[in-house]
Amino acid sequence: MTPLLLLPLLLPFLAPWPARRTLDRLPPATALWVLTVSVLALAGACVGALGALVLTGLLKFPAFASLGELIHPLRTPSDRLVLPLAAVATGVLTLSLLTLARSAHRQIRALRTARTEADRRPAAGDLCVVDSPHPDAYALPGRPHRIVVTTAMLRSLNPAEREALFAHERAHNRAGHHYFLAAAELAAHCHPALRGVRDSVRLAAERDADEAAAAAVGDRRLLATAIARAALAGHASPSTRPAFTPAATTGPVPQRVAALLAPTGGRPRAARWTAYLLVACTAVSVAAGTAGVVDFHHEVEIAQGENGA
């Protein structure tokens, strides 16, 4: 059982590289779904494996075994490894839970502050202008969806570039990219290696919005110029927006600009197997975690005397 439960803890270290390359092979919208599902599945398998290790260690003590209605403490072939692994798993789960709770509290508070500030301002349709010396613009989730832009950002762009920037932020709201970003942020707290996949999800969301905005504006060069100028204007400015609120100035802007300016069909493509590698890594992790949890449940049933002791 223990070797199977170790796989979901090790395989996420292989995921960041194929995750980065997936965007080179798949359209941004497809890549966004593949990356988000993969990072959630990897995180779920990791948490399930950690939980099974913790319970395995606890059920080896008579006091916890009696609480679980076990006839005898849980017996495993690798007794020397189980207790140290269970102790480490307990520490990792506790730390992950604490950091997740702290991050969630901070992000929810930032979202409420942004919504309150936006609701106090008169809106022109979905556009809300905030008087601020710091250039910033982002898509604000909630009901109704808003595009928040500061006066400093408006001064940094000409009218055509402003419309291109607004088209990008509207694309974020239409596609519900904040859900993808929130899911990736949640998964990143489950395993440190998944932070790299989270960054790829963020880039995929921005690339998807870039393509949608380019189609709406009808001028890829104009959109690329607007994003570049907005990013330069807001580079040194602090932002209090939540991490899961998408914005045109986030992510590797030079890479996004290059993709917008590249000839259609002329972007470099990674080998097809890189996308398959991410899917295979996720599938093996989930399968190993599921098999390990099922095996753990079977051993618990034996210890309870349901299948013989």
Predicted pLDDT at 205: 94
**Average of pLDDT values for 250-261?**
88
Best-predicted range by mean pLDDT (61-75, 126-140, 193-207)? 193-207
d(CA 284, CA 214): 38
User: In terms of pLDDT, which residue wins out, 120 or 307?
Assistant: 120
Position 78 confidence tier, pLDDT thresholds 50, 70, 90: low
> Which amino acid makes up residue 302?
I
Peptide bond into 62 cis (omega under 30): no
Is the model's pLDDT at 231 over the cut of 80? yes
Percentage with pLDDT > 70 across the chain: 90
237: exposed, middle or buried (Cβ count in 10 Å: 0-12, 13-18, 19+): middle
Position 268 confidence tier, pLDDT thresholds 50, 70, 90: very low
Q: Give whole-number Cα distances, 303 to 60, 84, 87, 150, 309, in Å.
A: 10, 21, 21, 63, 6
**Average of pLDDT values for 10-17?**
92
Is the model's pLDDT at 274 over the cut of 60? yes
d(CA 60, CA 64): 7
Predicted pLDDT at 306: 56
Predicted pLDDT at 208: 94
d(CA 298, CA 304): 10
Answer positive or negative: Cα dihedral of 219, 211, 231, 122.
Answer: positive
Position 3 confidence tier, pLDDT thresholds 50, 70, 90: confident
**Average of pLDDT values for 177-188?**
93
Predicted pLDDT at 237: 65
**What is the average pLDDT value for the chain, to the nearest integer?**
84
Note whether 89 and 50 are within 8 A (CB): yes
Percentage with pLDDT > 90 across the chain: 41
Position 227 confidence tier, pLDDT thresholds 50, 70, 90: very high
Query: Distance between the two ends of the chain, CA-based, in angstroms?
Result: 18
Helix, strand, coil percent values for the chain (each to nearest 5): 70, 5, 25
Predicted pLDDT at 266: 46
Predicted pLDDT at 126: 83
Predicted pLDDT at 40: 96
Give the 3-state secondary structure of residue 192: coil
The three-state DSSP-derived secondary structure of 126-146 is CEEEECCCCCCEEEECCCCCE
> Which amino acid makes up residue 96?
S
Predicted pLDDT at 161: 94
Beta bridge partners of 138: 148
Q: Tell me: the pLDDT tens digits for 137-171? A: 888 887 888 888 889 999 999 999 999 999 999 99
- Which of 234, 236, 294, 258 lies closest to 23 in space, CA to CA? 258
Crossing angle (nearest 10°) for helices 253-261 and 220-234: 170
Of 57-71, 122-136, 170-184, 200-214, minimum mean pLDDT range: 57-71
